[in-house]
Amino acid sequence: MNPTINPSILSANFCNIEKDIKILEKNSITSIHIDVMDGNFVPNIAFGIDQIRAIREITEMKFDIHLMINDPDKFIERFVDAGADNITVHAEACPHLYRTIELIKKYGVSVGIALNPATSIESLRYLYKLIDKVLIMTVEPGFGGQNFIEEMKNKLKDLVTIKEKYNYNFSIQVDGGINKDNVEEIVKLGVTDVVIGSSIFKNNEIEKNLKEIYSALKMEG
């Protein structure tokens, strides 16, 4: 089965984001990754609730909301109301992670847990049955355009082994430093959902860049 390609619109043209989204739709993209950053958990600020609500008015694509914020629980309902289809929170930002998972599920959207590069997958040992997605950060969160951390390949292999051994249903997502040159190798490790930002939107050549990624994966665009 082909992986989901989730363009990270953090790298889109903010002055003409509707045009970029329509190009994505034209090229078989069905989901977009939206980074929410608070300037606290990560050293950057991006995408508030009102911006997400405005984007929801121009597209029916799925919204994969990635909360890089502290204390996400108090914002969950508002992100759901803004149009979220999936909400991913960081394990490192949730002191009561089980409670946060249950809160997200209460609103009827899927739930993902993100792990920073230095965070062990062991931290999710007792939660795998409850979650829909595990996001392995392959760069430090907060900025686009970073290089893929090679050691994360071993982390992905370990996660795939656990998923297959116990027949868990969660999808495996990666975010950070993915491009046409390494995407095939990453997917072959067992990744089912790929977040790509800079490599899709670079030089305002979205269609060309997507075709190169599809070609690398031997997918129809």
Cβ partners under 8 Å of residue 212, min gap 6 = 180
* Catalytic annotation present for 73: no
Find the catalytic residue in 35, 38, 64, 193: 35
Residues in a beta bridge with 38: 45
Map residue 194 onto helix, strand or coil. strand
* Catalytic annotation present for 20: no
**Segment (H or E) for 175:** strand 171-175
* HSE-up of residue 203 (Cα within 13 Å, Cβ side): 6
CA distance readout (Å), 63 to 14, 147, 208:
17, 25, 23
Find the catalytic residue in 20, 132, 175, 193: 175
d(CA 40, CA 65): 18
Instruction: Spell out the SS3 assignment of 32-98.
Output: EEEEEEECCCCCCEECCHHHHHHHHCCCCCEEEEEEECCCHHHHHHHHHHHCCCEEEEEHHHCCCHH
- Which residues are part of the catalytic machinery? 35, 175
